[in-house]
Structure 1
Amino acid sequence: MTPDDYAALVVQPVQAESTAFQVGTPLTTTSTRMHLPIVVEDAGAAWVLEGEEVVAPAKVAGLTVVSSELAEDSNPDAQQIVGNGLARSIARQVDAAFFGSLPHPAPHGLEKLTGISAVAAGRKWTNLDPFLSAIAAAENVGATLTSFTAHPNDALALAQLKEQSGSNRPLLGSDPTMPTRRVIAGVPLYVSPAVTPGTVWGIPRDRVFVVLRRDVRVDISADAYFSSDQVAVSGTMRVGFGYPHPAAVAKVSLTQ
């Protein structure tokens, strides 16, 4: 494997598997840090040079163990099997950091973000009014929510809401271009187990960034699994998140 092969083996599958890469704006850098201008609200939303958010991508690694025969197979399908396993492992960690609040050295996720638009949704999901409030909150600061992301259990509860009592017609809409995707007031609803149950995140894609450094590595070792004729394949990426306009991010939460 050469560095040029890493994109197809690890980077592209991770970007396809990770919800964070789908709801945010992916950026690629060759530097150890990326500076993003901060959006402030002073006589209207504006980009200013005085404040910057520095995004320092952190290391995230995945490990998969395969047979020696599979590791030595030159068939592209065999490489894809290995790459997909690594991608799923790394993507889970990326999403866990993005939607959560993992300790250092993981980058700061949404749960650590301050100054966001918080919307209370009551004790259980009964209608879509909280999401309309979230959309309006983003619009009030000059942003547009381009996605909602929920835990699978909350996505199911929302999907089971009906237009009215006695009706079988779901309250959520569907995306004509992707029949399996649900939408809330025209905004696509993504699903990720990394989201805290009872919370739905409203993301404006142009105000949330997922920064990827180019120095992706794939390492192979047979030492640890010598006795079982297996090979360990590890993939390493460096990923960070940037939130230059926290007020544009909406958090819709159930109350306890």
Structure 2
Amino acid sequence: MTFLSSSAAGILKPEEVHALIVQPTQEASVAMSTATVVPTSSAEFRFPVVTDDAGTAWYNEGEDITLTDPTVDELVARPKKIASLTKVSRELAEDSSPEATALVGASVARDMARKIDQAWFAASTPKGPAGLASLIGTAGAVPGGSYANADDFAEAISLIEQTGSTPTAFVANASTVLALSKLKKASGSNEPLLSPNLATGATQRIERQLLGVRLWTTPDTALDDDEVWAYDRSKVFVVLRKDVDLQVDPSFFFGSDSLAVRCVMRLDFAFPHAASVVHIGSDGS
């Protein structure tokens, strides 16, 4: 039995939903590939944030040590609902081949990934989570612009390292990645500044390295030209509810002899260490 059969409605196992929707969405989404994905069964997930460290000092042997406490705040992530409703013909639904099931699952996962990525880089999304652009003013900033070398990226790496973090990703749109890919190591040289490698695994993405940090490409609609985000995977989070729901209903499109496939996923973003995120942009913010 495939999830497209009418008898599958409401009885899909969690592992089936994960393989059909969750895993392909995570693989297709730049946000979920470059951040730490935190699964949760709760409506809220709380991140402790240390706003001021405990105090330390030098002491003589035998001298009383002053008691100090760190100042701790918290950031609360509340997963929001992203959903899709897909119409599937009866002919496709009755195709018992795994390719038919994968075709519908991949389509849902691709669009989920696109919407997640658009929200990840936006300041806000109606009914959705606040993204990286909401950090502008508190995140690190590098002016950026029309890139002739890697100096702006070296500065971004330095800003992240000064927070005690390690940069793991640069993310830009396809046009910006193409412009960076055309940069050469020296005047008159044909050797590119970036070092591309073909990634192994299911996605087969081309991995580009810039100053030793992976450069990712996101859809052009998510970022402006010459705009780049840099961050440490361990300091940015996608909070994903475990109860991803996939339902098949043969009655919704009864008149056209089709099935309705509904997918509901709930997630939120969390940036408890804004200073470890850097925005490289033409306006320097």
Percent identity over paired residues: 40
Aligned counterpart for 1:186 among listed residues 207, 212, 218: 212
Q: CA 1:185–1:43 in 2, change beyond 3 Å: closer, same or farther?
A: farther
RMSD: 2.3
Alpha-carbon deviation of 1:159? 0.4
**SS of equivalent residue, structure 1 residue 137:** helix
Q: What do residues 20-73 of structure 1 show as CA deviations (whole Å, max 9, x unaligned)?
A: 1110001100000100111436579xx967300000010011233321122233
Q: What do residues 165-220 of structure 1 show as CA deviations (whole Å, max 9, x unaligned)?
A: 22211111234756932111000000001233321110200100111001111123
More moved, 179-188 vs 148-157 = 179-188
Q: CA 1:152–1:244 in 2, change beyond 3 Å: closer, same or farther?
A: same
> Structure 2 counterpart of 1:29, which letter?
T
**In the alignment, structure 1 residue 197 sits paired with structure 2 residue 225:** yes
Whole-Å Cα distance in 2 between the matches of residues 145 and 26 of structure 1? Answer: 17
Alpha-carbon deviation of 1:76? 2.7
Aligned counterpart for 1:37 among listed residues 35, 45, 48: 48
**In the alignment, structure 1 residue 242 sits paired with structure 2 residue 270:** yes
- Structure 1: any 5+ residue segments left out of the alignment? none
> Structure 1 counterpart of 2:193, which letter?
L
Superposition TM-score, scaled by structure 1 size: 0.90
Q: CA 1:248–1:43 in 2, change beyond 3 Å: closer, same or farther?
A: farther
> Structure 2 counterpart of 1:183, which letter?
Q
Aligned residues: 253
Aligned counterpart for 1:23 among listed residues 31, 34, 47: 34
Superposition TM-score, scaled by structure 2 size: 0.82
Whole-Å Cα distance in 1 between the matches of residues 199 and 114 of structure 2? Answer: 26
**SS of equivalent residue, structure 1 residue 112:** helix
**SS of equivalent residue, structure 2 residue 21:** helix
Whole-Å Cα distance in 2 between the matches of residues 222 and 235 of structure 1? Answer: 15
Whole-Å Cα distance in 2 between the matches of residues 182 and 112 of structure 1? Answer: 27
Q: CA 1:59–1:73 in 2, change beyond 3 Å: closer, same or farther?
A: same
Whole-Å Cα distance in 2 between the matches of residues 43 and 248 of structure 1? Answer: 20
**SS of equivalent residue, structure 2 residue 23:** helix
